[in-house]
Amino acid sequence: MFNFKLMSLQFHSSVLFCSNLKKQREFYEKFLEQKVKQDYGRCVVFASGFTLWSPAEEYPVSKELGYTYEPLGNRNLELCFETDSFEDAVEKVLMSDLRILHNVTEEPWGQYTIRFYDPEGNLVEIGETLKSMAKRMRLDGMSEDEIAGKSGLDKSFVIKLLAI
Is 7 domain-assigned?
Answer: no
- Summarised one tens digit per residue, pLDDT across range 12-38 is 889 999 999 999 999 999 999 999 999
Domain containing 150: what range? 130-164
Question: What percent of the chain is helix, strand and coil (3-state, nearest 5)?
Answer: 30, 25, 45
Residue-level pLDDT at 72: 83
* Same-domain pairing of 62 and 20: yes
Residue 150 has pLDDT above 70, yes or no: yes
* Same-domain pairing of 84 and 39: no
Residue-level pLDDT at 1: 65
Cβ-proximal residues to 39 (8 Å cutoff; 6+ apart), any chain: 45
- Comparing 23 with 71, which gets the higher pLDDT? 23
Is 114 domain-assigned?
Answer: yes
Is 119 domain-assigned?
Answer: yes
Is 1 domain-assigned?
Answer: no
Domain end (from 70, 88, 120): 70
- Summarised one tens digit per residue, pLDDT across range 96-134 is 999 999 999 999 999 999 999 999 999 999 999 999 999
Residue 163 has pLDDT above 70, yes or no: yes
Residue 138 has pLDDT above 70, yes or no: yes
* Same-domain pairing of 123 and 134: no
Parallel/antiparallel/unpaired status of strands 43-46 and 36-39: antiparallel
Residue 75 has pLDDT above 90, yes or no: no
* Same-domain pairing of 43 and 66: yes
Is 121 domain-assigned?
Answer: yes
Is 148 domain-assigned?
Answer: yes
Number of domains present in the structure of the chain: 3
CATH number at residue 57: 3.10.180.10
Asked if residue 71 lies in contact with residue 121, where contact means CB atoms within 8 angstroms, the answer is yes
> Per-residue pLDDT averaged across 135-141, rounded?
98
% of the chain residues with pLDDT over 70: 99
Backbone torsions φ then ψ of 102, nearest 5 degrees: -150, 150
